[in-house]
Structure 1
Amino acid sequence: MIDYVIIPLGEILGKEYVKEKLESAFKKFSCQRERDLEDFLMQKSIAYEKTNYGKTYLFIDENKLVNNNEFIVLAYFTIAQNSLDISTMSKKKKRKILGEYPGRDSLSSIPTYLIGQLGRCDNCSSLDLSGQQILDECYHAISLAARIVGGNMLILECREHMFEKFYQPQGFKKLYDELNEESLFTLFKKINFEEYWNT
């Protein structure tokens, strides 16, 4: 297992001395299985951060940072607020997904937390840093917002193989049975964030 430190991208953007290190680290981040992760980190993460649309958290190799002053991105995730359109859902489906949500049947949308990106660099194995660890750190970050404003619904999009391999065992369910326009499934999960407040 690799020792890591999680650094919010927004906390280091204003520091000029890390600009070149960030660009270099982002270029070295490779994910052959999911090129969207590479593209987002290189092309979009800073813009999302500057517009406050979403927040990106970087898993940095702690030993290389402390001992060699190297900035190595092992993994990252991006989270944002979202509004889920439920206007076309049947009352039965709303009941199944939302449970005892107040005013459920008359709602056209509900607030959610969006996991926009989540992944690990190819140079880092699951033994070094597991998907479970990355997801738990993501839950912890979202729990800080949930502690203040509430909310318990997570939304994300993923490819079919990732649903079966990773997200379904983590308790995520398909919001719709069919793929969307980008050939992705929209998944949801209700979660009690209280268990993450003291971690």
Structure 2
Amino acid sequence: MSNFLCEKKQDIDYFLKKQAIRYEIQGLARTYFVIEDKTFDHISEIKILGYFTLSQKTLNIDKGISKTKIKKLTGFSNPREKNIPVFLIGQLGKNDKFRSKISGDELIEKAHFKIKEGQEKIAGRGILVECKNIPYLRNFYEKHNYIFIDKEYKKGDLLQYLKILNPEDIIEKR
């Protein structure tokens, strides 16, 4: 992990080096590495191209969200339950040293694949990401079919985006 570098987003670098192991041990999140597809003789030869961290979260449907948006998020126009179980992509980052070897699109698709494996075993309505209000981040998540959760945000709050998982995909497999 010491060879991982993300200068643009230092919180990505900090999380991996200072918090990921503690989150693993405490059962708060799982961190997955995307490594170069080669066989290695020594662990020092492993090239971490990127990583993502997954967790579970409960998304609270605030009163400030429109009924149309609530139906889209929950599947019900007037849900009894105002909390939705979701998978959280807590971290998603590429190693600056190997930026050309993996795209952000490939990295998020690997995270989606892991989440779908988990959804087969446990329930989860969608995938939540929380990001700073930066246009390229917003565009990135919207390109991957995440829906902006339009609610009241305070200054400095992270914006929330939700990607609805298709329950029919899981039911058909059973």
Q: TM-score, normalised by structure 2?
A: 0.82
Tell me if 1:140 matches 2:116. Answer: no
Q: Are the aligned partners of 1:76 and 1:120 in contact in 2 as well (CA < 8 Å)? A: yes
Residue pairs, 1:101-120, within 5 angstroms: 104-120=78-94
Q: CA deviation at 1:180?
A: 5.0
User: Following TM superposition, by how much is the alpha carbon of 1:184 offset from its aligned partner in structure 2, in angstroms?
Assistant: 2.4
Q: Using the alignment, how far apart are the partners of 2:46 and 2:153 within structure 1?
A: 37
SS of the counterpart of 1:138?
helix
Structure 1 unpaired stretches of 5+:
1-25
User: Secondary structure of 1:83's partner?
Assistant: strand
Letter in 2 for 1:83: T
* Residue 79 (str. 1) matches residue 54 (str. 2): yes
**Count of residues in Structure 1 that have an aligned counterpart in Structure 2:** 167
Unmatched tracts of structure 2, length 5 or more = none
Q: Percent identity over the alignment?
A: 26
Amino acid at match of 2:59: L
User: Scaled by the length of structure 1, what TM-score is found?
Assistant: 0.73
Note if contact 1:87-1:107 (Cα within 8 Å) is conserved in structure 2. no
Cα offsets for 1:139-163 (capped at 9, x unmatched) = 1111111001232311111122333
Residue number in structure 1 paired with 2:31: 56
Separation (CA, whole Å) in 2 of partners of 1:77 and 1:184? 18
Is residue 74–residue 125 contact of structure 2 (8 Å, CA) maintained in 1? no
35-44 or 160-169: which moved more?
Answer: 160-169
* Separation (CA, whole Å) in 2 of partners of 1:108 and 1:165: 28
- Whole-angstrom CA distance in 2 between matches of 1:155 and 1:180: 19
Change (3 A) 1:185 1:52: same
